[in-house]
Structure 1
Amino acid sequence: MSDDDKARRLAALRACTRILANPPRENLAERLARLVSESADAYDLTGPLDFYGDEDGVVGELERRVAELLGTQAAAYFPSGTMAQQVALRIWAARTGNPLVALHPLAHPEQYERDALKAVSGLRTVHPTRDPRMPSADEVRDLDEPFGTLMLELPLRVAGFVLPTWEELTQTVAAARERDAVVHFDGARLWECAPHFGRSLADIAGLADSVYVSFYKSLGALSGAALAAPADVVAEAKAWRHRYGGQIYQQFPAALSALAGLRNELPRLPSYVAHAALVARALREGLAEGGANWPRTYPDVPHTHEFQVWLPYPEDVLNAAALAQAEERGESLFGRAEFFEPRLPGLSMTEVSVEAGTLAWTEADIRAAAADFARRLPPAA
Structure 2
Amino acid sequence: MRGHRRLLGIAALLALGVLAAFLLGRLQPYRETVERGPTAEVRANPYLAAERFLRREGVAVRRAEGPGALHGLPDHGHTLLLLADRTHMTPYQAERVLEWTARGGHLVFVAERLWDEKTGRSGDPLLDRLGIRQYLSEDLKVGSPDSAAAPAEPHPELTRFYVEPGRSPVYLAFDDSFHLYDPRNRGTAWANSATATHLLQLAHGAGSVTVLTDSWIWQNGKIGEFDHAWLLWHLTRGSQVILLHRSAGDALPRLLLRHFPQALLALALLLALALWRAGMRQGPLQPAAAPARRQLEEHLRANADFLLRHGGQSGLLQELQSDIRQRARRRHPGFAQLSEAEQWQQLARLCRLSPEHVRAAMQPASGTLSAVEFTRQVADLQTLRNAL
* TM bracket, shorter-chain basis: under 0.3
Q: TM-score, normalised by structure 2?
A: 0.25
Larger of the two Rg values belongs to structure: 2
